Amino acid sequence: MALGLLWLGLALLGALQTQAQDSTPNPIPAPPLLRVPLQSDFQNEKFQGKWYVLGLAGNGFNKEKHSQLKMYTATYVLNEDNSYNVTSTVVWDQSCDHWTKIFIPNLHLGQFNLSNIERYTGTQNYTTRVVTTNYNQFAILYFKKVFNNQEYIKVTLYGRNKDLPSVLKEIFISFAKSLGLTEDHIIFPIPIDDCVDK
């Protein structure tokens, strides 16, 4: 009897484990970096400054789950070695939170890697590409992160102001979809004044 219950328990455990694996969605694979457009003749001095994060898309985002995400900013400060200190300002638990990452230049102008990657537990690679920008109104960036052997991609729509013409939002959506992302992976953070205008 005890042996029969043990086998039944193991069978149920195996069935639950299989069901759990089947219910975990497979993230959309990241395209090779060389297939992601890169802003030609990138001008790092013109790119620095404050950007509002107006759109996000990625294989780690879900429109329903992240529907209450609030707008935040990313401020790029150019260093002498052509790296950027990038400070994100977000509303977190009713207060303003700031964190800074350093992006160092990569092989291509407009492509950067995260500096001091060993400080970010589980992160094996983190690359950023400026896909397109006109420097004074909008930018679209592509991020690829390898975390615990899993590839994550993110596309960000930046604006120098809190609102952009709808045609730029459509370009952002089209680019995200060209990477295999769907409407469920695309979100537009809720506009706010707190923190981001300080």
Provide the pLDDT confidence category of residue 48 given band limits of 50, 70 and 90: very high
- Under DSSP, is residue 94 helix (H, G, I), strand (E, B) or coil? coil
| Rounded distance between C-alpha atoms, residue 108 and residue 104, angstroms | 11
Residue 32 host element (H or E): none
Between 8 and 82, residue with greater pLDDT: 82
Residue 19: inside a domain: no
- Domain of residue 144 covers 35-187
Work out the end-to-end distance of the chain between its first and last CA atoms, rounded to an integer number of angstroms: 69
The answer to whether position 89 is within a domain reads yes
Place of tokens 């960036």: 141
**DSSP 3-state of 149:** coil
DSSP secondary structure string for all residues of 130-148 = EEEE-SSSEEEEEEEEEET
Count of the separate structural domains present in the chain = 1
9 is a domain residue:
no
Give pLDDT, residue 45.
97
pTM of the full structure: 0.85
Tell whether 156 is covered by a domain.
yes
State how far the Cα of 75 lies from the Cα of 88, in Å rounded to an integer.
Answer: 6
Domain at 60, CATH number: 2.40.128.20
Over residues 41-49, mean pLDDT: 97
Per the domain annotation, does 195 fall within a domain?
A: no
Does residue 83 belong to any structural domain of this protein? Answer: yes
Query: Tens digits of per-residue pLDDT, 163-193?
Result: 999 999 999 999 999 999 999 999 999 998 8
Residue 65 lies in a domain: yes
SS3 117: helix
132 belongs to a structural domain: yes
